[in-house]
């Protein structure tokens, strides 16, 4: 349902821009949608949710695919690109409480209360911050997770992305928004991406009108950070990025599974560059899988460099060890 709402919202924007074009929506389900009894971090990498869709794109059965950007790996298969990153919804994580805990916050829950989350990133940060609480895996789409929360007594609360709840029209279920001080968010969280064939200039030109420049720059920095760390679903990597007065600020962190060991730092760079009219092959340079035709090349490069430099800084302080231990422990679970 959420995927459908997200796709509809993108198609709606395209219809307004191109009233003469007919858009047809094709619904598909993916391997990731079908495996619901295993933690995401155990069933491999993110392509679970994208492979079937990319196959349809490759066979020209569809021309564009709408994803949550955080589901897309930092390296796309050859022949594909993210042709648009739409304006980001609130990227923060939200706590949804069991009806009996309505009006509470995490620190007011009784000791040993069980919190549901399928994200290693959320669990690692919140275990450190709220050692009195217990964290347990919960899988399924938004509807399923809320149902599990409401109809059983297994969980006192669950953690979800605020963006998904908002898009579903369930903002009233948000009992607490977790600030970046409580919980840094996932790379690309809250942003929608439109994936297209990299060589399909017509479609690429069409969807590039949907790019939100600030969101693109933030997400390129975040994705470059993740890529340099070689992070994925199976390790706790988290970020927070903001753009203000032409300066892009990126905070990035890595965590051990229990949150006891962590590294975190912030860097900034200038992204205030004029748009240059560059005709020719330079237009379609990809930055961590994103082709942004209407954002200045120097700004895109600066954002990517920022992510790489911040990751390199954390690696120089020992991030590789934290992540490899987290990966081994997760594989052994």
Residues in CB range of 118: below 8 A, 6 or more apart: 39, 40, 41, 137, 138, 139
Gyration radius from the chain CA atoms: 20
Helix, strand, or coil here: 27?
Answer: coil
Quick one: which of 258, 29, 241 has its CA closest to 141? 29
Helix, strand, or coil here: 30?
Answer: coil
Specify whether 258 is catalytic: no
Residues in CB range of 109: below 8 A, 6 or more apart: 101, 133, 156, 157
Dihedral sign of CA atoms 40, 46, 47, 49 in order: positive
Q: Are 225 and 239 within 8 A, CB to CB?
A: yes
Residues in CB range of 210: below 8 A, 6 or more apart: 10, 13, 14, 17, 84, 85, 86, 194
Catalytic-role residue among 8, 63, 71, 137: 71
Distance from C-alpha of 62 to C-alpha of 51, rounded to nearest angstrom? 13
End-to-end CA distance of the chain: 31
Structural tokens at position 234: 């199976």
Structural tokens at position 251: 């905070």
- Residues designated catalytic: 71
């Amino acid at each position: 349902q959420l995927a459908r709402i997200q796709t509809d919202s993108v198609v709606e924007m395209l219809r307004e821009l191109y009233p003469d074009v007919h858009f047809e929506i094709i619904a598909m389900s993916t391997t990731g949608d079908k495996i619901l009894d295993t933690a995401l971090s155990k069933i491999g990498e993110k392509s679970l949710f994208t492979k079937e869709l990319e196959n349809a794109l490759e066979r020209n059965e569809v021309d564009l695919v709408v994803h949550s950007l955080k589901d897309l790996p930092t390296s796309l298969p050859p022949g594909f690109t993210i042709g648009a990153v739409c304006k980001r919804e609130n990227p923060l994580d939200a706590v949804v409480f069991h009806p009996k805990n309505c009006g509470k916050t995490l620190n007011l829950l009784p000791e040993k209360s069980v919190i549901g989350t399928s994200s290693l990133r959320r669990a690692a940060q919140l275990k450190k911050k709220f050692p009195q609480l217990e964290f347990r895996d919960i899988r399924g789409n938004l509807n399923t997770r809320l149902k599990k929360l409401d109809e059983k007594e297994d969980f006192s609360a669950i953690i979800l992305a605020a963006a998904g709840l908002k898009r579903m029209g369930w903002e009233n279920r948000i009992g607490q928004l977790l600030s970046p001080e409580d919980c840094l968010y996932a790379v690309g969280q809250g942003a929608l991406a439109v994936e297209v064939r990299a060589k399909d200039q017509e479609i690429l030109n069409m969807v590039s009108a949907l790019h939100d420049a600030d969101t693109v720059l933030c997400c390129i920095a975040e994705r470059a950070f993740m890529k340099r760390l070689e992070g994925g679903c199976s390790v706790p990597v988290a970020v927070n990025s903001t753009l203000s007065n032409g300066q892009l600020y990126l905070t990035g962190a890595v965590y051990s599974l229990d949150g006891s060991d962590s590294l975190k730092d912030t860097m900034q760079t200038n992204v205030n560059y004029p748009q240059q009219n560059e005709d020719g092959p330079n237009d379609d340079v990809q930055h961590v899988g994103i082709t942004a035709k209407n954002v200045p090349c120097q700004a895109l490069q600066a954002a990517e460099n920022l992510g790489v430099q911040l990751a390199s800084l954390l690696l120089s302080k020992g991030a590789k060890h934290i992540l490899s231990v987290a990966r081994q422990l997760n594989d052994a679970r």
